[in-house]
Amino acid sequence: MKTRKLGQMEVSELGAGCMSLSSNYGPAAPGFMGINTLRAAHERGVTFFDTAEVYGAYTNELLVGEALAPIRNEVKIATKFGFDVEGSGGPLSTPANIRKVAEDSLRRLRTDRIDLFYQHRVDPNVPIEDVAGTVADLIREGKVLHFGLSEASAATIRRAHAVQAVTAVQTEYSFVERAPEANGVLDVCEELGIGFVPWGPVGMAFLTGWMTPETKFDPATDFRANFPRFSSENIRANLPILDIVRRKAAEKGATPVQVALAWLLAQKPFIVPIPATRSQDHLAENHGALNVELTAADLAEMQAAFAPLTVHGASMDADNMALVQR
């Protein structure tokens, strides 16, 4: 496993998204399965693990803390603040809440420092300068090492960075979801030396190839049940995008997942995808992306095939889309 730089923080070129072990993509995995998967990821070279207080809620941080405690000094842990978890559920990035979440996350994660502390969603009621300033205080205290933003606009990133250096920006990005290319977020990250961490790097599993128009998601456990992009009609309409990835995978003797991840890695040297899985077989498949070489000609061919296509359906429901700055 090679490494990449998120700002000044060095991490494995593929990280591990931990959310799906506890919530949102079906029922929670048994605790032993999550622990074994995360430790297996580390054995394969992963040093960057992504969680948040709201995943579960809280249960994912507890799982990550238990799994990584024996190897804590060998890994970087990212977690997130920014929701009123026990109240409205909406954004809450007051300085008092940021400090409370930091203390609670430190305890759940069984650690004395948070390597990367993201604002999970921008709070329209709190100036981003106040958010950055509060995290800067936590950095001075040694409780946090690096500051991150999630689903923030280019303008918000600039304002935050002027107060406290932003190490990484996390935003949905994949071969099917291209918003960061068009809204200036990738550009501002490159300009300011900020790392970029794509969540949903295989299109919330659309680019794996297992999903069909007949696929049904359980609304009680899987948030894709309410996301327009995952309706039967839109899955069918977006299959031509999946076909581009499938064709390239066939050429390369790889799987669609591997090509989707290799495509992201090839976009910019400061991109670190965080694919999620609870399966060690899928973990091995994900890491096979590191052996897939997409040439400039491959990338140009894939882009030429994608350019005339329309992506059908928003990737999230209206309530979630209202929280992102796209």
pLDDT tens sequence across 191-244: 999 999 999 999 999 999 999 999 999 999 999 999 999 999 999 999 999 999
pLDDT tens sequence across 286-319: 999 999 999 999 999 999 999 999 999 999 999 9
Q: Does 58 qualify as catalytic in the annotation?
A: no
pTM (two decimals):
0.97
**Peptide bond preceding 57 in cis form (omega within 30 of 0):** yes
**Domain ranges (residues) in the chain:** 3-202+268-292
Among 114, 184, 131, 113, smallest CA distance to 155 is for 184
Residue 23's pLDDT is what?
Answer: 87
Tokens read off for 295: 């040439």
Query: 229 to each of 35, 61, 224, 225, 314, how far by Cα in Å?
Result: 31, 29, 8, 9, 5
pLDDT > 90 in the chain, percent: 98
Residue 115's pLDDT is what?
Answer: 99
The topology (CATH level 3) of 3-202+268-292 is TIM Barrel (3.20.20)
Could you give the CA distance from residue 42 to residue 47 in angstroms, rounded to a whole number? 6
Residue 176's pLDDT is what?
Answer: 98
- Report strand pairing: 76-81 vs 48-50: parallel
Residue 188's pLDDT is what?
Answer: 98
Taking a C-beta distance cutoff of 8 angstroms, is the pair 193, 7 a contact?
A: yes
pLDDT tens sequence across 113-166: 999 999 999 999 999 999 999 999 999 999 999 999 999 999 999 999 999 999
Residue 298's pLDDT is what?
Answer: 98
Chain-wide mean pLDDT for the chain? 97
pLDDT tens sequence across 257-282: 999 999 999 999 999 999 999 999 99
pLDDT tens sequence across 68-115: 999 999 999 999 999 999 999 999 999 999 999 999 999 999 999 999
Among 25, 55, 118, 173, the active-site one is 55
Exposed/middle/buried for residue 52 (C-beta within 10 Å: 0-12, 13-18, 19+): buried
Other CB atoms within 10 A of residue 214 CB: 8
HEC secondary structure over the chain = CCEEEECCEEEECCCEECHHHCCCECCCCCHHHHHHHHHHHHHCCCCEEECCCCCCCCHHHHHHHHHHHHHHHHCEEEEEECECCCCCCCECCCHHHHHHHHHHHHHHCCCCCECEEEECCCCCCCCHHHHHHHHHHHHHCCCECCEEEECCCHHHHHHHHHHCCEEEEEEECCCCCCHHHHCCHHHHHHHHCCEEEEECCCCCCHHHCCCCCCCCCCCCCEHHHHCHHHCHHHHHHCHHHHHHHHHHHHHHCCCHHHHHHHHHHHHCCCECCCCECCCHHHHHHHHHHHHCCCCHHHHHHHHHHHCCCCCCCCCCCHHHHCCCCC
Q: What is the mean pLDDT of residues 176-202?
A: 98
Query: 171 to each of 108, 120, 149, 322, how far by Cα in Å?
Result: 25, 10, 9, 14
